[in-house]
Amino acid sequence: MKFSGWPEKGELVVGEVDEITDFGVFVDLDEYEDKRGLTHVSEVASGWIKNIRDHVNVGERVVAKVLDVDESSQQIDLSIKDVNDHQRSDKIQEWKNERKADNWMTIAFGEDVSDDKYTRVAEALYHEFGSMYDGFEAAAIHGEEALKDTDLDGEEIAAIVEAARENVSVPYVNVTGFVDLESAEADGVDDVKAALKAAEGNGEVPDEVELDVSYVGAPEYRIRVRAPDYKVAENELEESAERARQSIEAAGGKGSFHRDRETEDE
């Protein structure tokens, strides 16, 4: 998606070098419609520049910082040297992500999607998630629930979720913890089984979360959680252990949660 407006001072932009002169470099901005910026020779690289072409080439994609914008004279001043390696890497990745999201929009709504509809849907995703890419990623992880607070209608939400779940590679994290479950009651074995079932969530674990409880060695059981991010994973791990503890203690047994192994595999 290309923005129709102007970049803001201090913003990082991605563009392609399309002309090199003795006084500077002209850059076509990839993210803005019909916008071109100028990087003065003094802003191309640090130190004295003998030959500007030793630092940039026509057709090269660069990340630049917006130094000034003068809409009346249609001028955008840029600096390439003010962008460090970390900023450059992050911005390029962000730009690549939005290009992917642009393709997903076409998959969701077809090659002939109108500009008005594309813009309206894109703006809804930007408003809610900060980028189209983050919106599609959220849809892939959480489904229609992720888009319920947007201004999109049911058909649009369904189209985005379908395209997202077929095309978005969702990052996942894994966390592990251990729970000790003990019972001296006559029905102790059944009490432990009930506690393990509680740990597994009784079928109420969110769709985007994978939770597995396995035997390590009495009285220890391993809980593994796979989730979209650490916050969700940690919450589900702790809640799983707490459900098991409450279940076994309600039956007269004892339960405790810990991070590290306390027994060895036999």
CATH for 36: 2.40.50.140
Are residues 105 and 75 part of one domain? no
Cβ within 8 Å of residue 32, ≥6 positions away: 2, 3, 4, 5, 6, 7, 13
| Closest-CA residue to 199 (of 253, 151, 257, 147) | 257
pLDDT score recorded for residue 160: 96
Distance CA 233, CA 171 (A): 12
| 72 and 36 belong to one structural domain | yes
Q: Is residue 195 part of a domain?
A: yes
Q: Are residues 101 and 148 in the same domain?
A: yes
Handedness of CA 189, 191, 195, 200 (dihedral sign): positive
The pLDDT value recorded for residue 15 is: 96
Within a domain: 3? no
Q: What pLDDT is attached to residue 266?
A: 37
61 and 23 in a single domain? The answer is yes
Pairing of strands 36-40, 75-79: parallel
Is the same domain home to 163 and 179? no
The amino acid that residue 5 corresponds to is G
Whole-number Å distance between alpha carbons of 138 and 185 = 46
Range of the domain at 247: 173-258
Q: Which of 152, 167, 182 is the last residue of a domain?
A: 167
The pLDDT assigned to 265 comes to 40
Q: Are 158 and 207 in a shared domain?
A: no
Identify whether 24 is part of a domain: yes
Q: Do 254 and 178 have their domain in common? A: yes
Q: How many domains does the chain have?
A: 3
Judgement on whether residues 161 and 197 belong to the same structural domain of the protein: no
* Residue 179 shares a structural domain with residue 246: yes
CA distances from 180 to 195, 198, 213, 239, 243 (A): 10, 14, 12, 15, 12
Give CA–CA dist 198/239, Å, rounded. 10
Positions in the chain whose pLDDT score sits under 50: 263-266
Note whether 206 and 241 are same-domain residues.
yes
What is the DSSP-derived secondary structure letter of residue 32?
B
Q: Say whether both 18 and 95 belong to one domain.
A: no
Q: Which of 63, 81, 99 is the last residue of a domain?
A: 81
Inside any domain, residue 265: no
Instruction: Give the Cβ contact number of residue 28 at 10 Å.
Output: 15
Distance CA 198, CA 210 (A): 15
Q: Is residue 114 part of a domain?
A: yes
Q: Is residue 6 part of a domain?
A: no
* Residue 90 belongs to a domain: yes
Q: Is residue 132 situated within a structural domain? A: yes
Query: What's the half-sphere exposure (Cβ side, CA atoms, 13 Å) at 25?
Result: 32
Are 253 and 179 in a shared domain? yes
CATH number at residue 214: 3.30.70.1130
- What's the rounded Cα separation, in Å, for the pair 162 and 149? 18
Domain boundary (124, 146, 167) is at 167
Sorted by sequence, the CB contacts under 8 Å of residue 10 that are 6+ apart come out as 65, 66
Write the DSSP symbol of residue 71. Answer: T
